[in-house]
């Protein structure tokens, strides 16, 4: 598979692309990688996306640990190897157990989850697979996370779906990772 939108050197970027790239480099990500390699082709889109992503990844109302769990479910739903390679190790660093990560990779419902993890997992799977969330799942998530938490959880699913679509279409190269690739 050939990377359709491969990296561009900073010197080859237009002025607008350089400004957008520098904002990502200067932010918490520290570098232009993953989806931002493809997105740099549209600097205004990339700037808007990275601001949303920065909030959802680092400051969401459900917290980083549960955000990483939602990202993994989304990556699995979209067979997105780059997201998986980046976020599976981060999820483990944030105390998502290797058993949960492995089960998600195999498209299985993990058996040993906390109540919060189960809510996030089930909410995300329902949203991706059924294109909606059943009332019992929604009500339980609302009681646990509140309206802002629900909005942020939906936002995480949507944002990482957008990135997955971008990288799947661009055939973005998978970075080196300690995570095992998703099985076919």
pLDDT (tens digit, 9 = 90+) per residue, 35-92? 999 999 999 999 999 999 999 999 999 999 999 999 999 999 999 999 999 999 999 9
Mean pLDDT of 104-108: 98
Contact 28, 54 (CB under 8 A): yes
135 Cβ neighbours under 8 A, 6+ residues apart = none
Mean pLDDT of 91-103: 98
| pLDDT reading at 3 higher than 80 | yes
pLDDT at 66: 98
pLDDT at 184: 87
| pLDDT reading at 147 higher than 80 | yes
Mean pLDDT of 124-134: 98
- Average predicted confidence (pLDDT) for the chain: 97
Mean pLDDT of 144-160: 98
| pLDDT reading at 1 higher than 90 | no
Q: Which domains does the chain have, with CATH numbers?
A: 1-184 (1.20.1290.10)
3-state secondary structure of 31: coil
Buried b / exposed e over 99-126, threshold 16 CB at 10 Å, is: ebbebbbeeeebeebeebbbbbbbbbbe
Mean pLDDT of 6-15: 96
What single string gives the DSSP state of each residue in 107-137?
T---SS--HHHHHHHHHHHHHHHHSS--HHH
Contact 171, 3 (CB under 8 A): yes
């Amino acid at each position: 598979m050939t990377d359709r939108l491969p990296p561009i050197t900073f010197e080859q970027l237009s002025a607008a692309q350089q400004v957008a790239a520098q904002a990502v480099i200067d932010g918490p990500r520290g570098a232009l990688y993953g989806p931002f390699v493809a997105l740099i082709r549209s600097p205004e889109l990339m700037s808007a996306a990275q601001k949303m992503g920065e909030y959802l990844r680092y400051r969401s109302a459900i917290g980083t640990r549960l955000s990483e769990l939602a990202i993994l479910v989304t990556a699995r739903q979209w067979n997105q190897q780059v997201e998986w390679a980046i976020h599976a190790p981060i999820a483990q660093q944030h105390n998502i157990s290797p058993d949960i990560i492995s089960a998600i990779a195999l498209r299985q419902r993990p058996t040993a989850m906390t109540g919060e993890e189960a809510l996030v997992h089930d909410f995300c799977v329902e949203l991706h697979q059924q294109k909606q969330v059943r009332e019992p799942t929604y009500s339980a998530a609302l009681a646990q996370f509140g309206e802002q938490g629900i909005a942020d959880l939906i936002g995480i699913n949507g944002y990482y779906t957008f990135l997955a679509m971008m990288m799947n279409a661009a055939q973005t190269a998978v970075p080196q990772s300690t995570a095992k690739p998703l099985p076919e």
